[in-house]
Structure 1
Amino acid sequence: MSVHVVMYSTAVCPYCTMAERLLKSKGVNEIEKIRVDLDPQVREAMMQKTGRRTVPQIYIGDTHVGGFDDLSALDRAGKLDALLASA
């Protein structure tokens, strides 16, 4: 699947790992990871863009999904596949 997925993450983040695993199980081959633990300016930019402080912060196409809990809730509601297909 060639959908563009961006995930703000850190080196040690179990929720980032779980989000990546879920996305890969849905056929997402490539996830652009932006490490916010390497540069405080990148974390600040993430917070400005998302309004959130925690990682992961996931974008599917132009849609801000949120964190792993949000991603998982989308999947449970049966809406993740449609979002991935439309992005």
Structure 2
Amino acid sequence: MATFVQAKIKGDKVVVFLKPTCSYCIMAQDVLSKYKFKPGHFECVDISDRSDMGSMQDYFLELTGARTVPRVFIGEECIGGGSDVAALQKSGKLEGMLKSIGALQ
């Protein structure tokens, strides 16, 4: 499970670990959907059906300081959850972060 998470997190990619019914997950997806990503540089990973979901969230706690979803990674850095993504967009910092890892077209 840790290997699965680490395999998804790459320096030039944005990954959102989420549950589709979670309002903060929807918020993060809505914000990120406004950007044009290069093919293969944006991925949403639904963890809600995984048998190891609980231990995966425990791993997020260890890795990022929180076990809630969404866990949004820009490159190898976790920037937090839905409200964090929205705040970064509002402050104008999000686009620069996405550009800095080369994820945008």
Runs of 4+ residues over 3 Å off in structure 1: none
How far did 1:65 drift? 0.8
The one-letter code sitting in structure 1 at the alignment partner of 2:28 is A
1:1-87 equivalences in 2 (<5 Å)? 3-28=12-37, 30-35=42-47, 38=50, 39=52, 40-87=54-101
Structure number with bigger Rg? 2
Distance 1:79 1:31 in 2: 20
**Which TM-score applies when normalising by structure 2?**
0.70
**Runs of at least 5 residues in structure 1 that lack an aligned partner in the other structure:** none
Q: Identity percentage over the alignment?
A: 33
**Which TM-score applies when normalising by structure 1?**
0.83
Q: Name the residue aligned to 2:8.
A: none
Q: How many residues are matched? A: 85
Greater mean deviation of Cα atoms: 29-38 or 48-57: 29-38
SS at match of 2:33: helix
Distance 2:48 2:63 in 1: 13
SS at match of 2:45: strand
